[in-house]
Chains A and B, each alone.
Chain A
Amino acid sequence: METLIFFLFAALAVGSAIVVVTHKSPIYSTLSLVLTLLSMAVLFVLLGAPFLGAVQVLVYAGAIVVLFLFVIMLLNVQKEEAAHVDRGAQLWTAIVGVIAFLGMFWLAFWRTGLRIGGPAPQPLTQEFVALRTVAVELFGTYLLPFEMVGLLLLVAVIGATVAARRPGAPDNSVDDLPVYASGDEPRTDPLRSGPDPRRPSVAEPAYKTKEANV
C-alpha cells in the first residue's frame, strides 16, 4: 500500500516537474509546480512528517506559488516563442552536466553501502510523527536559528519592498518610464523592446577595443 502511494505520487511529481521545466507558458509551468509540490507534500506525510507536509502546502503551494502567479500577471509574461528553444552549447552542456552530477551522486551513494532496495526503515511510531516532537526540537535546540530566520524574513520583506518600488523622484535614473502596472499602456514585446536599452545615450561603448588600447 505504501509502496503504491509512493510510486503514484512519485510519478506524478516527476511528470509535473518535467512539465514545469519544458512548458512554454509560464502559467502552465507554475501550475505544474503546484502539482509537484502537492505530490511532495504527500511524500512528506508518507515519510512521517505530516507537519512538514502541511507547511509545504501552506507556504509553498499557498504563498510562494501565489506570489509567482501575481508577478506573472503583473509583468504580463508571454509565452516563449517556440523557435527560440535553445539548441546549442548551453542545452547540451547543461544536460551532460546534470547527468555527471547525478552520476556523482550515485557514486557517493554507492560508497555509503546503501543500496537500492535496501533494508526498510523502522516503522513509524506515534511519537515520531507527533507534532510535539518537532516542536521540541525546533523551539529547543534550534531556537536561535529559528529567530534568525524570522529576522531573515523581515529583511527579505524590506528588501523586496525596496527593490520593487516604483521609480519616483529620489531615484533619478529612470525619469520618464511609462507605468505598466495597470496594463493599459501599449505593450512592447518583451523579446524585442524599442531602442536597445543596453546602450546609454553615449554612442561609444565604454570598453575600447584592443587595437585602440595599444
Chain B
Amino acid sequence: MSAVPISWYLLLSAILFGIGAIGALTRRNGIAIFLSVELMLNAANLTLVAYARQLGSHTGQVIVFFVMAVAAAEAAVGLALFIAVFRQRHTIDVNRMNLMRW
C-alpha cells in the first residue's frame, strides 16, 4: 500500500486540536468544555502515534497509553467536581461560577 506521509497526520492532528481549543474556550456548558478537552487530548495522541510510526520507536505509543489513563482519571475527577459544584449552584453554566469577580 502506498503510505500516507506522516505530515498529513500531523496536519489533521493540528486541525483537531484547534477545533478542540475553540470549543474549550467558547462553550458555556461545562460538559461541552470537557468534551473539547478530550478532543484536544486525542489530537495530541494522534501526533504521538504518528511520530512513533515515523521514528520507528514505540515510545510514542507508550506515552499515548499513559495519556489515555490520565485522561480517564481527569475525566472522573473533573466530573465529580462538576457534580459538587452543581449541588451548590444548580447550574453548570461556567459563566455563573464567578465568585472571584472584581
Chain B residue, CB-CB nearest to A72 = B31
* Consensus secondary structure, chain B interface: helix
Residue-wise interface mask of B (75-100) relative to A, using a CB-CB cutoff of 8 A (1 in contact, 0 not):
11101111110111111110010110
Q: Given A2, A95, A180, which contacts B1 in the complex, CB threshold below 8 Å?
A: A2
Chain B residue, CB-CB nearest to A146 = B66
Pairwise interchain contact B34-A68, C-beta atoms closer than 8 A? yes
Pairwise interchain contact B38-A64, C-beta atoms closer than 8 A? yes
Chain B residue, CB-CB nearest to A158 = B77
Give residues 6-63 of B contacting A (CB, 8 Å). Answer: 6-12, 14-23, 25-29, 31-32, 34-36, 38-39, 42, 45-46, 49-50, 52-54, 56, 58-59, 61-62
Q: Given B6, B39, B49, which contacts A33 in the complex, CB threshold below 8 Å?
A: B39
Chain B residue, CB-CB nearest to A162 = B80
With a CB–CB cut-off of 8 A, which chain A residues contact B35?
20, 26, 29-30, 33, 68
With A14-B15, A55-B65, A198-B99 in contact, is A94–B88 under 8 Å at CB? Answer: no
Number of B residues near A (Cβ < 8 Å) is: 78
Complex Cα–Cα for A119 and B53 (A): 13
Pairwise interchain contact B22-A47, C-beta atoms closer than 8 A? no
Q: Given B1, B21, B56, which contacts A128 in the complex, CB threshold below 8 Å?
A: B56
Complex Cα–Cα for A1 and B1 (A): 7
With a CB–CB cut-off of 8 A, which chain A residues contact B5?
116-121
The 4 closest A-B pairs by CB, nearest first: A21-B23, A156-B73, A94-B25, A120-B3
Which chain A residues have a beta carbon within 8 Å of chain B's beta carbons?
Answer: 1-3, 6, 10, 13-14, 17-18, 20-22, 26, 29-30, 33, 36-37, 40, 43-44, 46-49, 51-52, 55-56, 59-60, 63-64, 67-68, 71-72, 74-75, 77, 80, 84, 86, 90-91, 93-95, 97-99, 101-102, 105-106, 109, 114-123, 128, 133-134, 137-138, 141-142, 145-146, 149, 152-153, 155-157, 159-165, 167, 174, 177, 180, 188, 190-191, 193-194, 197-198, 207
8 of the cross-chain contacts (CB-CB < 8 Å) are A17-B20, A26-B29, A33-B39, A74-B83, A75-B92, A84-B28, A94-B25, A164-B84
